[in-house]
Structure 1
Amino acid sequence: MNQKKPSIENLIDETVLLFHRLRVVADELHGGGELAAGKRGVLKGLYEIGPQTVPQMARARPVSRQHIQSLVNPLVEEGYVEFIDNPHHRRSKLVQLTGTGRVFVEKMQLREAEVFQTLSAKFSESRLTQATRTLRSVRECFEKE
């Protein structure tokens, strides 16, 4: 950490470094070749939120609709997700997990839970809560701009 930089810059630098480290850890934990990070993110989002349209998923990330479509199409072919009719929009189908996709996410969460439990033992609950609040506040500042 460089003390000559403003504290916010140090925080952002550490966040970027953590992001890259988490990608490596996730690839090691889940097997980078089995399902890439973007696809795992789509599956996890569908598990947590439920069926969504491709545009809804793109807005939440935020990335292009085309990028999400490029992740969803192979997941359909691999049997992890499926398109279903959308009662609110005739042309924009909903994407939902299949049984296979749901089982995959649950296994993924079990592997992650072991890592999270080991890691959380190294920090007090109050430190983790404060770090979460700080990162959320910084993210919200960027979202308002």
Structure 2
Amino acid sequence: MKPAGRPSRRDDGKAAALAVLFDAAVALFHRLRATAGEVHGQGEPTAGRRGVLRDLSRLGPQTVPQMARRRPVSRQHIQLLVNGLVEDGFAETAENPGHRRSHLVRLTPEGRALVEGMLRREARVLAAVPLTLPVRDLTRAAEVLVRVRQCLESPAWKRLVEGRR
């Protein structure tokens, strides 16, 4: 893959390397989205709904604003996803002792069963992936992606971007 742009002397190739990384991450994102559809089949929850279900399973009951803060999407978008999950019987709302108007969203037994089925399917597929990379390389790749994401979520990044408008 050819880098998108020439690095300046000051960045020692970092800008070009980041461009290649971002291109690869975007391509992987699209491939993972298609792969999830292949693994879970038609009729299963969409990627957004799967993400909400997984977070509720992993993190426990949350408010819609709490869920929205974990993603680069609006509260209204998460509310639409939650409404669909509630309507389908996979999630329910409950009183929030910490806030009268912002209810907690939690999984129903049906939602827990759905998540468990999704995780079992994913685990079977992941165990069979024909990728010949050492675990240490996969772990390092994940660490790099986490650090890049954290950088792009940082106040320093926000200041940099706002200063260039």
Could you state the TM-score of these two structures normalised by the residue count of structure 2? 0.83
Deviation, 1:28, is 1.2
Ranges in structure 1 where 5+ consecutive residues have no aligned partner: none
| Alignment match, 1:52 | 62
Equivalent residue, structure 1, for 2:77? 67
- The answer to whether the 8 Å contact 2:94/2:105 transfers is yes
Structure possessing the higher radius of gyration over alpha carbons = 2
Question: Post-superposition, which runs of at least 4 consecutive aligned residues in structure 1 deviate over 3 A?
Answer: none
C-alpha offsets along residues 112-132 of structure 1, whole Å, 9 cap, x if unaligned?
001211237622111011101
> Given the two structures, how large is their TM-score scaled by the length of structure 1?
0.94
Paired positions, count: 145
- Of 76-85 and 110-119, deviating more is 110-119
CA distance in 1 between partners of 2:130 and 2:63 (Å): 34
Deviation at 1:133, TM superposition (A): 1.3
- Preserved CA contact (<8 Å) 1:82 1:96: yes
Correspondence 1:77 to 2:73? no
Higher strand share: 1
Distance change >3 Å, CA 3–CA 58, structure 1 → 2: closer
Residues in 1 aligned to 2:22 and 2:76: alpha-carbon distance in whole angstroms? 28
Q: How far did 1:57 drift?
A: 0.3
Aligned counterpart in structure 1 of residue 104 of structure 2, from 94, 110, 127: 94
Structure 2 unaligned spans of 5+: 6-15, 158-165
Partner of residue 124, structure 1: 134
